[in-house]
Amino acid sequence: MNHRLLPAWLLIFGLGAVLRGADTVEIKLATIMPVGTSAHKNLMEMRAAWQKAAGPALKLTIYAGMADGEPLLVKKMRARQINAALLSAVGISEIDRSVSSLQLMPMMFRNWAEVDHVREKIRGELESRLRAKGFEVLFWADAGWVRYFSKEPAAFPDDFRKMKMFVLAGVPEQVDIMSRLGYQPVSLEAEQILPGLTTGMISVVPVPPFLANALQFNREAKYMLDLNWVPLVGAAVIRRDAWEKLSPALRLELKAIAETSAVKIRAQTRAEDDDAITAMKKNGLVVEPVTPAVHAAWQALAERSYPLIRGTLVPAEIFDEVSADLAAYRAAHGGAH
């Protein structure tokens, strides 16, 4: 070979290696959110924007509708089978329990304004805790208010005590708390909900309306109590070792794109709840109204649960911080619902 041509060959070889993705960072992001939901569609839009910004430096693959269950998705991240996931607070609590404060404190939040306020108030602390465990938060999201769907009409807390209630597998503390409050929790993976309703293994599912509609739980659980029990809150997280393979400048750009996606996900999933209820009512869903007496009974139950939740499902210091932040927020806004 003519040695004067060697630099040109090296240049071509080097360019070819880049084009083939020799230094490409591969990110596999999984979620139990079903294909076709607004959350999934926005993830796909984020993927396209990330790919455009990163070029051959990144390959992002989205796996939606995963039937594994969120605790198992976290295990898969730790085993490097995937390196990112969009999770609810239940899943993220497998990494650090502090995030439970945004979801597992029933009737603590009255509306989305309060959820948004507290999340922004404590997100720095939550992200620091997750970072210390080896995970970076890409964005925060939520997916509607959890309501109770049941096979039989029910309104008061006592009405549900005779029914078998679904609890996501992998949260034994929640099973214990519900049992101590007089309920019959049945621990199942998410993909077992519809078969469980069909066979009678369970008769109550606490879930946001959009998810009940998407997964057709209302086919078996035709009654919905119109009570905002807890918000379904979560985040997209990624292993730090995968994230830090990207350049700092690119990480900043991708984080900005992710935050834009988060704003859309939060807005659309909140609106999706109302649309889902309307659609399910056309298919026979009966919405049980919440009278002042019903609301008071559920509020009393929630407050009975707080001493059991504080220090178990939610770290005591975070529980107290959220309570104080909400009290200050309500004082500044007249305490209005």
Q: Where are the domains of the chain?
A: 23-332
Give me the pLDDT at residue 23, please. 81
Q: How far apart are CA 186 and CA 199, in angstroms?
A: 13
Q: Which CATH class is domain 23-332?
A: alpha beta
pLDDT, tens digit, 9 for 90 and up, residues 128-182? 999 999 999 999 988 889 999 999 999 999 999 999 999 887 778 888 999 999 9
- Helix (H/G/I), strand (E/B), else coil: 95: coil
| pLDDT score recorded for residue 323 | 94
pTM over 0.75: yes
Cβ atoms of residues 70 and 168 within 8 Å: yes
Ramachandran category for residue 121: left, alpha or beta (phi over 0 → left; psi -120 to 50 → alpha) = alpha
- Compute, in degrees rounded to 10, the torsion defined by CA atoms 276, 278, 281, 286: 90
In terms of DSSP bridges, do strands 223-239 and 286-288 run parallel, antiparallel, or are they unpaired? parallel
Query: Digits of tens for pLDDT over the chain (337 positions)?
Result: 444 544 443 343 444 433 434 488 999 999 888 788 778 888 899 999 999 999 999 999 999 887 677 888 999 999 999 999 999 888 898 899 898 898 889 999 999 999 999 999 999 999 999 999 999 999 998 888 999 999 999 999 999 999 999 988 777 888 899 999 999 999 888 788 999 999 999 999 999 998 899 888 999 999 999 999 999 888 999 999 999 999 999 999 999 999 988 888 888 888 888 889 999 999 999 999 999 999 999 999 999 999 999 999 999 999 999 999 999 999 998 765 5
Q: Distance between CA 142 and CA 148 in Å, rounded?
A: 18
> What span, in angstroms and rounded, lies between the C-alpha atoms of 240 and 49?
21
For the record, the structure tokens of 303 come out as 């407050």
